[in-house]
Structure 1
C-alpha cells in the first residue's frame, strides 16, 4: 500500500501545472522532460501521455523505470512517484479519453501537430512520497472544499430526476439541480441531430439568452468532440492556452448564425459529457465556469451520472408519448386568430430550414415539423395535432422512436417562444400539439 494514496492527490493529475519525468539510460545518464498529462488509472497505476519524448521512451525501454514529480496547481503541494513501466496503449478507453482532451486543447492553441497523442504509457506506482518542506500556497476556495464528495448528492439527484413525469420538466430541472445542488451556474443540454450532423441547444441556464436552436457541428470544439468520440472532455484551466479562443464560439455554424450560442465571455474551465442511452448518442450535457479548476474528477463523475439519467429519461418519455396519446384528429379545430395580416413562410426541403419574414427560425426535423403544422393550417384550418399522427406520416422521415420527437417538439416550441412572432406552439395535453398563429401564412417552397 502506498504511503500517500493516489486518490488523495488526484488534483495533481489535472494538467494544470506540467509534471516532470526523470529517467536514465544504461550508463546512468539522467534525462528530464516536462509531461503534458498524467491520468489516474486506479489506486496503483497512472497513465502518462506519450507525444514526443523519444529520449524518455528510449531510457524506459532499457530500465523500465521512471520518477515523476506532480504538482497540485491550486495549493502548490508536490509529490514524487516511483514508476515501473507496464505497457503502452494506442487504443482503448484511456487512450480515447486523453486523445479527445488533447484534440480540444490543440484546437484552442492551434498546435494540433504538437499535441497529437501517440500513446498512453501505463505505469505501476511503487511509491508516492510528499516532497517536504513545502507549505501549501493557499487553501482551496470554500466552494471547492464543499464539493469534495458528491456521491450522496448525486444519488438524491438521480432519484428526483427519475420521478419526473415529462421530458420538458426533466430538461429544466436537471440544469436547475446542477446549479442549486452542485454550484454549476452555467450549463446547457444539446440534442444530437444526426441528419445534419449537429448538436442543437434545447435547454440552458445561467446565460443572458437561452439560445434555443443554436447549433454546434459534431466534432468541433469541446462539445462537438465529446459527442463525436462519445467521451467526456474536461478542461480544468483554459488559461494554459497561448491564445484564448472559445471552444463554443469557434464551433458556431456559419450558415445559420442567426441563433447565437449561449456562452460566458471568458470561461476558465469547461466539461462536456455525452448523453448515451441504449448505445445511441442522445446529446451532450455541458457546463462551464469563469473560475479555473472548478470541475474536478468529482464534479465530472456527478455530471456523468446526471447525463446518463437525462438520456434514459428522454428515451423513456419518447416511447410513452409515442404510444399513449389520443387519436390524430381528436381535438382538431379551425383557427380564428382575428388577424388578417399575412407573413412570409419559406421552407427549404433540402435541410428542413424555415424562414419567417426572411428571418431564420430553425431547420432539420423541427423545421420539417413546423412546415407540417403550418401547411395543414393553411390547407384545412387545423391547429391541433398528435405525436401519433406525426409518427405515422412518412413524409416527415422520422425513424420510429429514434429521433427524439418529443425533444424536437420542445426545441421547436422554445425556439418560437424565444424568437417571438406570428407562430407559436402549445401543449394542450400529453402527446398533443396546438398551433397558435396570428395572420395568414404565405408559404413558399424553395428548392435549391
Structure 2
C-alpha cells in the first residue's frame, strides 16, 4: 500500500475528490467532494455533507472508494475506505470546522458550509491510477535543496529569541518569513481589549501598513483562526472568491474611522496560525499569496513553531514590563518655548477613538493612552511616563488581567509613525515612554 504521507499534496483540496459508493442492489453512485482530509497513514476524514444517496450507501455497506488528485502534479490515487465513526466534537472536528468556516465566509455561504459532523474512514488500500498519457512531473534535481521547513523555522525562532524589544520581534518574524520562506505578504494581528476584534500591529509586503486596522473574531481566515485557536489553511480560492475585508466603523464614531486591512484583493492561498502560549491567544500570524497551492502542511507546521515563539516572546515581554519598572520617572526637561502651531485632537470617550485634525488615528486602549499623554502634557508639560504610572491610572481602563500594555504601546507608536503627524512616542528604555510633539494640541472631548 502506498503511504498516505507520501501523497499529502493530494489532500489539499485544490482539485475536488470523487467518492464512489454502491447500494444494496449493486447500483453505483458517484459524487464530488470538496476535500478529503489526511489524518494519519491509515485514516482519512470526510465532512459529512454528502448527497443523501452517498450517505445512505455508506451507512448500509460501510464501504466506499475515493479518488484524490495532487494539485501540484495531477497524479491520481484511489483509496478503498471503510467507515469507522462519526464525530461532532473534538480537536479534529474543530480543525476541519475552522477550515470550512473560513471558506464559507469567503464565499458568503457560512450556513451552507457549516460543519455538522465528520466521518472517519480506515484506508484499506491506496493505489496509483496509471495515466493515459505521461504526466509532466517536477524534476527532483531542480527542486530547492534548501527546502527544509524545520531548519528555516529554527533560524527564525533563534532570531526572534535574540530580540529584547517586542516591537523588533514582529519585524524579525516577518522579515524572516520573507527572506527564508519567500512569503512576500504577511501580517500579525493582536486581540483588542474585549477580544471581539483583532488589530493589525505589523505587516509586510503591502502597499499600506494598515496598523490599527481591525477584523472581527470569526471573520475570514484570520478571525476564524482566532476563534477556533486552530490553524486555517486555504490552498486554492475558487475563481471569483474574494476575502471579505469590509469592517464597519464602531457606532458613534466618525464615518471614516476605519483603517483598511492591508490584504490582497484576490488571494489564491492563505494561512492563518494562532499565536498561543499557556492556553492564551496572543495574536494571529498570517501569510497569503497570489498563487494557488502556495502553502502546504509543512508551511503550516513551520508557521506554528514561529507563531508559538512569538507568543512566548510577547508573554515574557509583558511580564518584564511589570518587573524593574522605574518607580519615579525623571521630570521632562523644561521647554524654553512652545511652537505656535496648533492642531485639533478630537477624542470620543465612549470607545477611545481619537482623531488629529479630523484624520482618524486609533481607538480603544491605544486611543485612551494617547489622550492621557496629551492631557498630562497640556496640564503639566509632562512628556515622560512609566508603565507603572499608566497601569495605576484607572481612566485608561486597562484590563485587570492580561492588560497587553506593551503591544498597545507598540500599536500606538507604529500608527503615529505611519500617520506622520505632529505626535510621536518613543521608548527610551524599558518601562518608559516619551511623548514627542510638534505644536500645541487643542483637545475636544466628545462624551457620546
CA–CA separation in structure 1 for the residues paired with 2:119 and 2:241: 30
Q: Which moved more, 1:264-273 or 1:141-150?
A: 141-150
> Which of 88, 93, 107 is residue 109 of structure 1 equivalent to?
107
CA–CA separation in structure 2 for the residues paired with 1:296 and 1:336: 60
Give 1:123 shift. 0.5
SS at match of 2:2: coil
Give 1:388 shift. 1.4
Residue-by-residue CA offset, 1:384-426 (whole Å, 9 max, x unaligned): 0011111122222223561211111011011001101111111
CA–CA separation in structure 2 for the residues paired with 1:111 and 1:63: 32
CA–CA separation in structure 2 for the residues paired with 1:199 and 1:144: 37
Partner of 1:195: 194
Give 1:259 shift. 2.0
Count how many residue pairs are aligned between Structure 1 and Structure 2.
Answer: 443
Asked if 1 retains the 8 angstrom alpha-carbon contact of 2:247 and 2:258, the reply is no
Asked if 2 retains the 8 angstrom alpha-carbon contact of 1:366 and 1:412, the reply is yes
| Aligned residues: CA RMSD | 2.1
CA–CA separation in structure 1 for the residues paired with 2:212 and 2:102: 23
Return 5+ residue gaps in structure 2 as ranges. none
Asked if 2 retains the 8 angstrom alpha-carbon contact of 1:196 and 1:364, the reply is no
Return 5+ residue gaps in structure 1 as ranges. none
Change (3 A) 1:438 1:195: same
CA–CA separation in structure 1 for the residues paired with 2:443 and 2:289: 44
SS at match of 1:115: coil
CA–CA separation in structure 2 for the residues paired with 1:433 and 1:148: 42
CA–CA separation in structure 1 for the residues paired with 2:257 and 2:296: 33
Asked if 2 retains the 8 angstrom alpha-carbon contact of 1:425 and 1:434, the reply is yes
Asked if 1 retains the 8 angstrom alpha-carbon contact of 2:77 and 2:128, the reply is yes
Asked if 2 retains the 8 angstrom alpha-carbon contact of 1:75 and 1:140, the reply is no
Change (3 A) 1:252 1:230: farther
Change (3 A) 1:424 1:335: farther
CA–CA separation in structure 2 for the residues paired with 1:322 and 1:271: 34
Partner of 1:246: 243
TM-score, normalised to structure 1, is 0.94
Query: Is 1:272 equivalent to 2:272 in the alignment?
Result: yes
Query: Is 1:86 equivalent to 2:84 in the alignment?
Result: yes
Query: Is 1:217 equivalent to 2:216 in the alignment?
Result: yes
CA–CA separation in structure 2 for the residues paired with 1:206 and 1:284: 17
Residue-by-residue CA offset, 1:181-228 (whole Å, 9 max, x unaligned): 111111000111042621111111111121111111112122111112
CA–CA separation in structure 2 for the residues paired with 1:155 and 1:184: 16
Equivalent residue runs for 1:143-182 within 5 Å: 149-182=148-181
Asked if 2 retains the 8 angstrom alpha-carbon contact of 1:337 and 1:437, the reply is no
Q: Which moved more, 1:361-370 or 1:85-94?
A: 85-94
Partner of 1:297: 297
TM-score, normalised to structure 2, is 0.94
Partner of 1:342: 342
CA–CA separation in structure 2 for the residues paired with 1:194 and 1:51: 37
Asked if 1 retains the 8 angstrom alpha-carbon contact of 2:425 and 2:433, the reply is yes
Asked if 2 retains the 8 angstrom alpha-carbon contact of 1:318 and 1:401, the reply is no
Change (3 A) 1:185 1:101: same
Partner of 1:121: 119
Change (3 A) 1:286 1:105: same
